[in-house]
Amino acid sequence: MAIARKPPGKAKPEVIEAQATTVSVSAPTPPVMDSDSVIPALQETLEATLSKAEEMQDQVRRTAEEGVEKTRVIYEKLKAAAEVASSSVETSLSTISKGVSDINLKALDAIKANSDAQFAFLKALLATRSISDAITLQGEHARTQFETLNTQTKEIAALIQQVSTDSVEPIKASFTKSLQVAA
């Protein structure tokens, strides 16, 4: 292979001849080990591998046990919260049941009082001697009945309000308590 090169200060280039040489590279051969040295080396490698595998198994087992324990704790908290919620719903339903009974009794008392007032009015109306007395009696009865109905309505509404408040209170307290436990 010829390479042309221009030397400094000369006008004509000079030719330099180069010769290529081939270099061969081969992988080194491993040292030959006798069977007495191979077995301990293999045992050592195997023991190191088994030791690492046991460490990994222990770590996986610890992680799994921690996960199971955390799940158990969460389950116990949820179970306790569900029991409290169930108890508060039972208390609430019991309060509602008693309240509805009280409201029904109050309504029956109002119906009885209104029926008694109506019969008394009819009896007094039949005893009147003139139309002007009947009209006066009718006006008084209407005014009295209006006041009575107004009072009865307020009493029943107050009872309904009380039952509503009393029945929601156990659930509200339970919800507040479960939020505090969860936090």
34 found inside a domain: no
DSSP designation for 166: H
25 found inside a domain: no
14 backbone dihedrals φ, ψ, rounded to 5°: -110, 145
pLDDT at 63 over 70: yes
Contact 6, 13 (CB under 8 A): yes
169 found inside a domain: yes
Helix (H, G, I), strand (E, B) or coil at 11: coil
The amino acid that residue 112 corresponds to is: K
Distances (CA, A) of 37 to 30, 32, 41: 14, 10, 6
30 found inside a domain: no
Count the Cβ atoms, other than its own, within 10 Å of residue 170. 20
Distances (CA, A) of 163 to 84, 100, 107, 129: 21, 8, 15, 48
Please state, in angstroms and rounded to a whole number, the distance separating the CA atoms of residues 42 and 48. 10
5 found inside a domain: no
- The least confident of 52-56, 101-105, 167-171, 173-177 is 173-177
Q: The tokens 């222990």 sit on which residue?
A: 58
Please state, in angstroms and rounded to a whole number, the distance separating the CA atoms of residues 117 and 141. 8
Residue-wise pLDDT tens digits, 67-93: 999 999 999 988 888 888 888 889 889
Average pLDDT, the chain: 83
20 found inside a domain: no
Residue-wise pLDDT tens digits, 145-178: 999 999 999 999 999 999 999 988 888 888 787 7
Contact 151, 75 (CB under 8 A): no
Query: Tokens representing 64?
Result: 């799994």
Domain count, the chain: 1
146 found inside a domain: yes
Q: How confident is the model at residue 7 (pLDDT cuts 50, 70, 90)?
A: low
Q: What is the pLDDT of residue 81?
A: 80
Please state, in angstroms and rounded to a whole number, the distance separating the CA atoms of residues 35 and 81. 68
Q: What is the pLDDT of residue 13?
A: 56
Cα 180 to its chain centre, rounded Å, is 13
pLDDT at 133 over 70: yes
Q: What is the pTM of this model?
A: 0.57
pLDDT at 19 over 80: no
Q: Which of 105, 104, 116 is nearest to 148 (CA)?
A: 116
164 found inside a domain: yes
Please state, in angstroms and rounded to a whole number, the distance separating the CA atoms of residues 63 and 33. 43
Q: What is the pLDDT of residue 32?
A: 56
Q: What is the pLDDT of residue 38?
A: 76
Which residue range forms the structural domain that includes residue 100? 44-182
